[in-house]
Chain A
C-alpha cells in the first residue's frame, strides 16, 4: 500500500510525549534500584550516599518527565490536535478552556497520569523530609510508579504483547479506527471534529473532585511505603512517628475527595442524593475506612508498643484496597453494575499482576522477620484506651470487609466461571447478582458500624493509655460517662421531635451519634480546657456524630414533595401505595404540591442549556396566604449541535435546615430533541386543506379561518439568516367549547434547499398546523410573470394603482428588509410608500434602491395582504424624481395548502421531581469537621516533629 502524506498533522508532540513517558519509566526503575542499594548499604558509607544520590536524581528525572508528558498532552488539547486519539476523544472545538482539566482526566490514561503526578509531588516532599527513611520509602514508591507508568506506556514487548496504552497514539492508528476509509484522505484532519467531554462531567466539581480524590489515593501509598520500609530496615517502631502526619493527611484528603464526589453527584446527577452505594463510590470509601483504622492503631502503637503489626496490616491493606478499587473500576469487570466505571482497555492482566506484586511484597517482608518482632507480652487491659481504640479499628475493618464482599460479586462470578471451566462444568447458576435494593442492603449493616463507632469514639476519649491508675480514675470516668449519657439521652429526645425515627435501631443510632458529640465536647471543656492543639480528635469525632445526624435526618425524612395529594385522590383506588415521585406541570397552571403552589412559568434557551423557571409559593396553613416565594431553575443540557438533550440538571433551594431539590424527569419531545419531536409529529394524522385568505373550514367540529399571510413572521425556534425565504400564516381556530385562538405556523426555505416547517405552540383546540412548501412558491410571484407599471414621483406625490392610493411619504436611509443585508460601502435608500387599499386599510411598503460596488440593485417589497409588489428602480439626483414600479398579484385567489392534525399532544408541560432533604447541611458540616480534625492533627504533629528534630 502506498504511504499517504497526511496534511496538517503534528507528529512531534506525540513523539516527544511518548519519549518522556519512556524516560519516566526507565527513571522510576533506576530510582527503585538505586534506592534499594542505598537502603541495603550502611547509612554513612560512601556507597550508600552515592546510591542515594543516584536514586534521588533518577526520581527527579522521572518526575520532570511526567510533568513534561502531562504538559505535552495539555499542549495538544489546547491546540485541538485531533490527530491524537486522546485529544479527539475528550476535546471539542466548542469546549470552554476550564473544562480542559476534566477532559484530561476523563480518560483512563489521563487519570493514571493524575495519580502518577501526585506520586511525583509526594515523592518530592518525601525526598525533602524523610531523612533516613528516604531510601527505603522512595524505593517502594518508585516501584509503584514503574507499575503505574507501565499502564500508559504503550510499547510492544513482544509482537503480541503490549505494555499499557499510551495517550499519545494517533487516531488513524488506533484500534477499530485504522481501517476507516476516512483515513485514505490525506486531508482527513480538516474533516473531523473532536467528540468532546461528556456533559455530565461539565461541572465545576469535576475540576476539583478528581484531583483531590487522586491525591487521596496517591497519599495512601506513603503510609504503605513507610510500613514496608519499617519491616525492610527491621526498625519496627521507628517508622511509626514519621508516618503519622502522612496518614492523617491522606485520611483528610481522601475523605474530602469522597465527599466532593458526593457533592458532585448531588448537584449534577439527578438520582437525588449524595451517596448511592455504587461500586465505584464504595471502592474509594473502603480504603479510607481501613486507613482510618490504621491511624488509630498507629496512635496506639506510638503510645504503647501494642498494635505495631496491626498498623502494618492496616496500612498495607489500605493500599492494596486502592489497587483493588483501581482494578474494579478500570478492568471493565463492574460493567453493568456501575455508572462510573471506565470501559475496558485491555489492562486487566497488567492490573492483576500489579495487585499480586504488592500483595506478595508485604507477605514476604512479614515472613522474613516474623520471629524478630516482639510486641509487649502483657495484654492490653480492658480498661485501657488502646484496647478500645483497637476494637474501633477492627469495627472499621469489619465494615470495609462487608462492603467489599458485596462490591466484589462480579469478581466472584468471574472466579466461579474460571473454576467451572477448570473442572469442565457450567457453574453459572452459582452466580449472584448485586442486591436488588443496594441502599437498604448496605445501610442494614453499616447502621451497626456507625452505632458502635459513635459509642466508642465517645467512651474511649475518657480512657487512658495502659489503663494507668484505673482504680483511682474509675469514679471520675463513670461520672463523666454518666453525665454524657444523660445529656445525650435528653438531646436524643429533643432531636427526635424533629427527625421522628420510628424504628428502635434508628433511635439507637440517633443516640449514639448524639453521644459522640456530647461526650467529645464534654471532654474538650472539662479535660482539655479548650486547648485546640489537643482537640483535633474532638473535631473529627464530633464531625462524625454530626455527619451521622445529617445522614439520619436527610435519609429518613427525605420526602417527595412533588406529589399532588388532591389530584391523585379519586383517580387511583385506595390500595395504591406507590411512591408518587413525579408531578405533571402545565405551563402557567399552578399546582398544589407538598405545601407549595408550583408554577411552571416558562423556559429559555441560553447557550447549550434550556433553563426552566418554576415558581414556588409556600402557602400558610389556610392554603391561601403566600408565606414565601422563590424560583428554581432546573435545566437541560444539549449536545454541541443543540439538536438533542443530553442530560437534565437539578436546581436546589437551600435553607439552613433543609434543601429542596428539583429536577426535570420528562419534558415535551420538542425539548428532548429533533428526533423525538419528528417521531411524535410523524405519528399525527395530518390532512391537507387548501385555504384562500379569509376562507374558513370545519374539521371534526373545529373551525379554522386563514386570517393573514405574513412575509416577516416570527417564531421561537426560527432564527432568520441571510437568504432565507420565509412566510407565515395566522389562522384563527375555535370550536364550541373553546374561544377563538390564533395559531401561527411558519415555513422557511434555507439556502434554497432546506425546508423548515415550524408549527405553533400547543393550543387548547389540540390542533397542530403546518404550512406546505407550495404555499411559498405560490405566494412569492415570479418576477417575470408580473406586469409592472412605472411611475415617476417626487416626495409627497400621490398616485393611484388599481384603486390603491399610494403616497411617497419619505425616505429611509437605514432601510431594513428581510432580503437585504447591509454591507460596508453600500449606498442604500428606501422609499417609504404609504398605501391605502380600496377598503381604507393602510400599509407601508419600503422598496430599496441600492448602489454596491458601483452597480445599482433593487430590493423589492411585497405586501401579501394587498398583493402588491413595489420596486424602487432609479433616482434622478437633479430633478429628485424617483422611478417606482408597481405590480399586482391576486393573493386572494391563491390556494394555500395547509396541513392540520387534531389531537396533538401537549408541548407546554414538564414532569418534575422535587425532594425535600431536611438536615442535609449537617452531613456536609459533619464531613468538613471530620476532615478538618485530621488536617489539624497532621499539622500539629508535623510541627512538633520538626521542633524535636
Chain B
C-alpha cells in the first residue's frame, strides 16, 4: 500500500505497546485512601494523615532496630496504628503531614514507605535574632 511504511507499522506497534504497558501500570499506581477503605483493599494504598502526637510512638532499637510504630489520624479523623519495619526517621515528631504507603494487616497498617512533610528547619518564615543580643 502506498503511503504506509514499515516505520508507521512499527510506530503503531509501539503506541499500542505503550498503551498496554500504561494500562497494566495503572495497577502500580496506588490510590489515596482512608484507613477504613484500606481495610477492604488488597492493593497497597496511600493514606494521608497527621501524626497523633498524644499517642505512643515506639522505637526501641535495643530490642528491635527495625520496628517503629506510631499512630496516624487520617482525613476522616480515624486513628490507626502504623508499623514501619525500619529505623525511626529523623525529625519524625516534627512532621505536619504523613503519607504512608502500605496495607492493613490484623488491624494495623503496615507501611512499606513513609513520606513526611516537615516545616523545614531552613525554610520557615522566621527570623532568627542573634542570640548574643
Does A431 belong to the interface (CB within 8 Å)?
Answer: yes
Interface size class of B (residues with CB under 8 A): 35 or more
Residue ID in chain B nearest A647 by CB atoms? B90
Contact between A583 and B65, CB atoms less than 8 A apart: yes
Residue ID in chain B nearest A338 by CB atoms? B115
Contact between B87 and A913, CB atoms less than 8 A apart: yes
Cα distance A437–B6 in the bound complex, in angstroms: 37
Q: Chain A residues near B59: list those with CB within 8 A.
A: 666
Query: Considering the complex, which residues of chain B in the window 22-68 have a beta carbon less than 8 Å from any beta carbon of chain A?
Result: 22, 25-26, 28-32, 43-46, 59, 61-62, 64-66
Query: Considering the complex, which residues of chain B in the window 106-133 have a beta carbon less than 8 Å from any beta carbon of chain A?
Result: 112-113, 115, 117, 120-123, 125, 127-131, 133
Residue ID in chain A nearest B97 by CB atoms? A336
Contact between B31 and A432, CB atoms less than 8 A apart: yes
Q: Chain A residues near B115: list those with CB within 8 A.
A: 336
Does A809 belong to the interface (CB within 8 Å)?
Answer: no
Given contacts A343-B123, A641-B131, contact A433 B32 (CB under 8 A): yes
Does A645 belong to the interface (CB within 8 Å)?
Answer: yes
Contact between A401 and B18, CB atoms less than 8 A apart: yes
Contact between B122 and A435, CB atoms less than 8 A apart: no
Which of B121, B128, B129, B133 interacts with A646 by CB under 8 Å? Answer: B121
Does A829 belong to the interface (CB within 8 Å)?
Answer: no
Given contacts A192-B127, A433-B46, contact A405 B22 (CB under 8 A): yes
Does A814 belong to the interface (CB within 8 Å)?
Answer: no
Q: Chain A residues near B97: list those with CB within 8 A.
A: 336
Query: Considering the complex, which residues of chain A in the window 559-608 have a beta carbon less than 8 Å from any beta carbon of chain B?
Result: 571, 578-584
Does A191 belong to the interface (CB within 8 Å)?
Answer: yes
Contact between B62 and A445, CB atoms less than 8 A apart: no
Kindly supply a per-residue 1/0 record for chain A positions 181-210, scoring 1 wherever the CB is within 8 Å of any chain B CB and 0 otherwise: 010000000111101111000000000000
Does A127 belong to the interface (CB within 8 Å)?
Answer: no
Interface size class of A (residues with CB under 8 A): 35 or more
Contact between A394 and B25, CB atoms less than 8 A apart: no
Given contacts A379-B7, A382-B6, A647-B90, contact A406 B25 (CB under 8 A): yes
Prevailing SS type, chain A contact patch: mixed
Contact between B29 and A379, CB atoms less than 8 A apart: no
Residue ID in chain B nearest A88 by CB atoms? B127
Contact between B99 and A336, CB atoms less than 8 A apart: yes
Contact between A182 and B129, CB atoms less than 8 A apart: yes
Cα distance A644–B128 in the bound complex, in angstroms: 15
Contact between B113 and A436, CB atoms less than 8 A apart: yes
Given contacts A431-B32, A435-B28, A436-B28, contact A193 B65 (CB under 8 A): no
Contact between A436 and B65, CB atoms less than 8 A apart: no
Given contacts A191-B133, A379-B6, A390-B7, contact A180 B127 (CB under 8 A): yes
Residue ID in chain B nearest A428 by CB atoms? B32
Does A245 belong to the interface (CB within 8 Å)?
Answer: no
Q: Chain B residues near A380: list those with CB within 8 A.
A: 5-7
Quote the shortest CB–CB distance from A259 to chain B (angstroms). 26
Cα distance A196–B61 in the bound complex, in angstroms: 33
Contact between B90 and A402, CB atoms less than 8 A apart: no
Q: Chain B residues near A180: list those with CB within 8 A.
A: 127
Q: Chain B residues near A191: list those with CB within 8 A.
A: 129-130, 133
Contact between B28 and A441, CB atoms less than 8 A apart: yes
Cα distance A176–B113 in the bound complex, in angstroms: 34
Which of A193, A379, A431, A445 interacts with B5 by CB under 8 Å? Answer: A379
Contact between B122 and A195, CB atoms less than 8 A apart: yes
Cα distance A191–B127 in the bound complex, in angstroms: 10
Contact between A196 and B62, CB atoms less than 8 A apart: no
Q: Chain A residues near B129: list those with CB within 8 A.
A: 182, 191-193
Which of A177, A406, A445, A581 interacts with B86 by CB under 8 Å? Answer: A581
Residue ID in chain A nearest B48 by CB atoms? A336
Contact between A582 and B130, CB atoms less than 8 A apart: no
Quote the shortest CB–CB distance from A441 to chain B (angstroms). 4
Quote the shortest CB–CB distance from B103 to chain A (angstroms). 10
Quote the shortest CB–CB distance from B64 to chain A (angstroms). 8
Q: Chain A residues near B61: list those with CB within 8 A.
A: 582, 584, 666, 909, 911
Quote the shortest CB–CB distance from B54 to chain A (angstroms). 14
Kindly supply a per-residue 1/0 record for chain A positions 411-434, scoring 1 wherever the CB is within 8 Å of any chain B CB and 0 otherwise: 000000000000000000001111
Contact between A176 and B87, CB atoms less than 8 A apart: no
Cα distance A578–B68 in the bound complex, in angstroms: 13
Q: Chain B residues near A195: list those with CB within 8 A.
A: 122, 128
Q: Chain B residues near A647: list those with CB within 8 A.
A: 90
Contact between A582 and B99, CB atoms less than 8 A apart: no
Which of A176, A336, A578 interacts with B85 by CB under 8 Å? Answer: A578
Cα distance A494–B21 in the bound complex, in angstroms: 33
Contact between B29 and A645, CB atoms less than 8 A apart: no
Which of A177, A435, A581, A665 interacts with B125 by CB under 8 Å? Answer: A177
Cα distance A406–B28 in the bound complex, in angstroms: 10
Contact between B133 and A190, CB atoms less than 8 A apart: yes
Does A15 belong to the interface (CB within 8 Å)?
Answer: no
Given contacts A190-B133, A581-B87, contact A436 B125 (CB under 8 A): no
Which of B22, B28, B65 interacts with A437 by CB under 8 Å? Answer: B28
Q: Chain B residues near A666: list those with CB within 8 A.
A: 59, 61, 65, 87-88
Q: List 25 A-B contacts (CB under 8 A).
A: A177-B127, A190-B130, A336-B115, A379-B5, A380-B5, A382-B6, A394-B10, A398-B17, A402-B18, A402-B22, A406-B25, A431-B31, A431-B32, A434-B29, A436-B112, A437-B44, A441-B25, A444-B28, A582-B86, A584-B61, A584-B62, A641-B131, A665-B86, A666-B61, A666-B88
A: which residues have CB within 8 A of B? 171, 176-177, 180, 182, 190-193, 195-198, 336, 343, 379-380, 382, 387, 390-391, 394-395, 398, 401-402, 405-406, 409, 431-437, 440-441, 444-445, 571, 578-584, 639, 641, 644-648, 665-666, 672, 906, 909, 911, 913
Beyond A436-B44, A437-B28, A911-B65: 8 further Cβ-contacts under 8 Å?
Answer: A192-B130, A391-B10, A402-B21, A436-B30, A445-B25, A581-B87, A582-B61, A582-B86
